[in-house]
Amino acid sequence: MKYEDFLNQLRENIRRARWASGLTQEQVAERGISYKHYQEIEGGRKEPTVKTLYRLAGIMGTTVSELLSTPWTVRSNGQPYLFEINPTPPKRGRKPKPRPPV
């Protein structure tokens, strides 16, 4: 596997993990990763560090090894990898403003 293929799969896994957890990019940013930095990782303009992968896995409720999985990885327990699922992206748009207490 070429390194570029691996990076493309990693970015796709990160995006799928975010979708599977129902998070928007803004919500990921609220939990500890800079919004711009996250966009650059998901968009392929930056490579995530191990520390960033660890933080993203925690935010999205998955593991670093799951984020690093590729179609050439074999899993013994039968659970699907991120590249095997097809989650729908979360709804976009502005967050509703909090209403004042009545």
Query: In the prediction, which pLDDT does 94 show?
Result: 66
CATH number of 3-84: 1.10.260.40
Of 8, 11, 14, 25, nearest to 61 (Cα)?
Answer: 14
Q: Which two tokens stand for residue 6?
A: 């691996």
Please name the residue that has the structure tokens 């609220």.
30
Indicate the pTM of the whole model.
0.71
> Distance between CA 5 and CA 59 in Å, rounded?
25
CB distance 68 to 58 below 8 Å: no
Q: Which amino acid is at 22?
A: G
Asked if the model's pLDDT at residue 13 lies above 70, the reply is: yes
Q: Where are the domains of the chain?
A: 3-84
Query: In the prediction, which pLDDT does 19 show?
Result: 93
Higher pLDDT, 101 or 25: 25
> How distant is the alpha carbon of residue 79 from its chain centre?
18
Q: Which residues contact 84 (CB under 8 A, 6 or more apart)?
A: none
Higher pLDDT, 27 or 73: 27
Percentage of the chain surpassing pLDDT 90? Answer: 57
Mean pLDDT of 14-41: 93
